[in-house]
Amino acid sequence: MEAQPRAGKEQSGARGAQRSYVDVSIIMPVYNASRWLDQCLQGIHQQDFCGSMELSVFDDASTDDSLAVLEAWRERLEARGVAVVVSGHKSAQPRGVGHSKNQAVAQSSGEFLCFQDSDDIMLPQRVRLQFESSLLHPKSLIGGKICRLPEGSTERYTRWINSLTPDQLQTQAFTSHGPTVVMPTWFCSRELFQKVGPFDEGGKGVPEDLLFFYQHLRQGGSLVRVNECLLVYRYHEEAATHSVTEETMWKLRLDFLQERVLSQWEHFTIWSAGKQGRKLFRSLSPSSQKKVRAFCDVDVKKITRGFYTYEESQEIPKPRIPVLDFRDACGPFIICVKLDMTGGVLEENLSSLHLKEGIDYYHFS
């Protein structure tokens, strides 16, 4: 049965004025997005949601004609019943995606927030399906499946996003892919956002989505994905995500892994004595390093060598960690082999040991 939109309510504005709540505010940061905005706004215009909506835009010092495109759409959107709220700044430098999202949220009035990137296209059922899901799961961050544009770009990443099980939305939160519910599909209640947020405003190079995602999980928040494609997620070289370095992501993921998983384990084995496994060991805190009982691998050469010596250690003698055949190793395991890159061999090996993800092992690569 379709969820019923809420009746309009009143709330106090920032300056004490009364303004009406709407059911859903579409939160959209904009920076030099004019080439994509027509398609993006057309997607908003075509939503089949019957409740009340507004589009809340914050322009982060665009130097193109993004604002002109937005104004050209205002009348059409308002005729469709979508209120349009636009603000921004004209400073010499943009202040970053986190700042823009926070400003767009602050000026909005929706009971629920639908985050939309200006270079993506929401499909007509997006707001309706995520609104219905949020009513059922008010403490959850709601996502959805995606279609990639250009088609076939980032094929492994797209397959990962769309194929995660409900349990894996939690257990695979430590991988290099980032949030298991991807930011361009986020939908949540305002209450959840206010509890977890705001977004970090560190600017370029700061993964504000990953920081928010981890804070949500720290607070016991849950994750839900609507199992339909809700968004055309555009891939291009100018996307903000490319400004975040691999090392920044590595450190945040490692800290969260140590906080959430390794602190609960007495000992563990690193699955892979290769480059990624050794890097993980070297990156661990001293207390976590002491919990590593072994590496395990499938490579006969690494296994025959017998040990990994931590040459950078200041300890005397330097730590020597055994390298075992995976069939001889004891769990639990941190897996440092990239998902979907072994032709199914990794998955078969894990299955052969009758291990349960989230209890006996976690993926880190």
- Tell me, what CATH number does 114's domain have? 3.90.550.10
Last residue of a domain, one of 211, 244, 277: 244
CA dihedral 169, 128, 43, 83 (to 10 degrees): -120
Spatial separation of the C-alpha atoms in residues 52 and 49, rounded to whole Å: 8
Tally of CA atoms within 13 A in the half-sphere of 125 that contains its CB: 12
- Contact criterion met (CB below 8 Å) for 134 and 140: yes
Spatial separation of the C-alpha atoms in residues 225 and 105, rounded to whole Å: 22
- If asked whether residues 298 and 160 sit together in one domain, one would say no
- If asked whether residues 285 and 346 sit together in one domain, one would say yes
Considering the domain boundaries, does residue 88 fall inside one? yes
Considering the domain boundaries, does residue 251 fall inside one? no
Predicted pLDDT at 9: 47
| 149 contacts: CB under 8 Å, gap ≥ 6 | 121, 232, 233, 234, 235
- If asked whether residues 351 and 267 sit together in one domain, one would say yes
In the numeric block, the tokens 């949500």 are attached to 216
Considering the domain boundaries, does residue 351 fall inside one? yes
Q: How many domains does the chain have?
A: 2
DSSP string of 162-209, one letter each residue: HH--TTHHHHTTTSTT--SS-GGG-EEEHHHHHHH-------TT--HH
Considering the domain boundaries, does residue 8 fall inside one? no
- Report CA-CA distances (Å) from 313 to 122, 196, 275, 365: 51, 39, 17, 24
**b (16+ CB within 10 A) / e for 246-261:** eeebeebbbebbbebb
Dihedral sign, CA of 8, 189, 50, 45? positive
Question: How many other CB atoms are there within 10 angstroms of residue 155's CB atom?
Answer: 11
- If asked whether residues 181 and 132 sit together in one domain, one would say yes
Considering the domain boundaries, does residue 249 fall inside one? no
Radius of gyration of the chain measured on its C-alpha atoms = 23
Across the beta sheet with 320-325, what order do the strands follow? 307-309, 320-325, 292-297, 268-271, 333-335, 361-363
Structure tokens belonging to residue 361: 């092992």
pTM of the full predicted structure?
A: 0.92
Structural domain that includes position 165 = 24-244
- Contact criterion met (CB below 8 Å) for 184 and 120: yes
- Contact criterion met (CB below 8 Å) for 189 and 79: no
Predicted pLDDT at 239: 63
Considering the domain boundaries, does residue 12 fall inside one? no
- If asked whether residues 217 and 266 sit together in one domain, one would say no
Question: How many other CB atoms are there within 10 angstroms of residue 5's CB atom?
Answer: 18
- Contact criterion met (CB below 8 Å) for 205 and 107: no
- If asked whether residues 237 and 329 sit together in one domain, one would say no
Predicted pLDDT at 275: 95
Spatial separation of the C-alpha atoms in residues 344 and 340, rounded to whole Å: 7
Spatial separation of the C-alpha atoms in residues 186 and 115, rounded to whole Å: 5
Residues of the chain with pLDDT under 70: 1-19, 236-242
- If asked whether residues 223 and 281 sit together in one domain, one would say no
